[in-house]
Amino acid sequence: MSIADYKQGLGEHGKDTKLNLSNIFGNVDTSGMTPTQFYGTALSLAYTIGDDALTAAVEAEAEGKIEANVVGAAKLAATLMAMNNIYYRFLHLSSDKQFSKMPAGLRMNGMANPGVDKADFELYSLAVSALNGCGMCIDSHVGVLLKHDISAQVIQNSIKMAAVLNAATTARRIA
């Protein structure tokens, strides 16, 4: 299944989402992102969203354009952010600040060597953190990305991708 195939299941209410998917996946070369950044981010988001058809479509689009290590890093970002976004969102939202003084005690060894460039992994993690609504993680990832000279446009594009893929899976689910 391709993104074009996936769009067919979005229904009339998904018309804008179809256009946005076409725009995002039709402009990979002008997104400002490398293929590793673009497809790694898209895969991280698809794995996080958990829509098997969307995942298959994004994997098909990425096939032959990225190495296997990018797929592994995307899965790692989705998995680690599933944990971190819950924990750090709790710390951020809790009015009782005693919890933020306690050690997290969560293993995150994969972040030290994610299998791709650190900035690329941070981009995947940022998009997933935005999808999961963790402000504390968003701030942290944006800070690291800016220190690695990742442009605001690339950062914005990763967030637009999160928004559109989330809308796509919603449109498909309610079709």
Mean pLDDT of 123-127: 98
The pLDDT score that the predictor gives to residue 30 is 87
Mean pLDDT for the chain overall: 97
Which residues are catalytic, by number?
134, 137
pTM of the model: 0.96
pLDDT digits (tens, 9 = 90+) for 95-110: 999 999 999 999 999 9
Where residue 105 falls (left for φ over 0; alpha for ψ -120 to 50; beta otherwise) is left
pLDDT digits (tens, 9 = 90+) for 51-104: 999 999 999 999 999 999 999 999 999 999 999 999 999 999 999 999 999 999
Mean pLDDT of 132-140: 97
The pLDDT score that the predictor gives to residue 174 is 95
What band does 15 get if pLDDT is binned at 50, 70 and 90?
very high
The pLDDT score that the predictor gives to residue 2 is 95
Burial of 144 (0-12, 13-18, 19+ CB in 10 A): middle
Mean pLDDT of 156-164: 98
What band does 156 get if pLDDT is binned at 50, 70 and 90?
very high
pLDDT digits (tens, 9 = 90+) for 20-33: 999 999 999 888 99
What band does 3 get if pLDDT is binned at 50, 70 and 90?
very high
Can you spell out the DSSP letters for the chain? --HHHHHTTS-GGGHHHHHHHHHHHH-GGGSS--HHHHHHHHHHHHHHHT-HHHHHHHHHHHTTTS-HHHHHHHHHHHHHHHHHHHHHHHHHH-S-GGGGGS------GGGT--SS-HHHHHHHHHHHHHHHT-HHHHHHHHHHHHHTT--HHHHHHHHHHHHHHHHHHHHHHT-
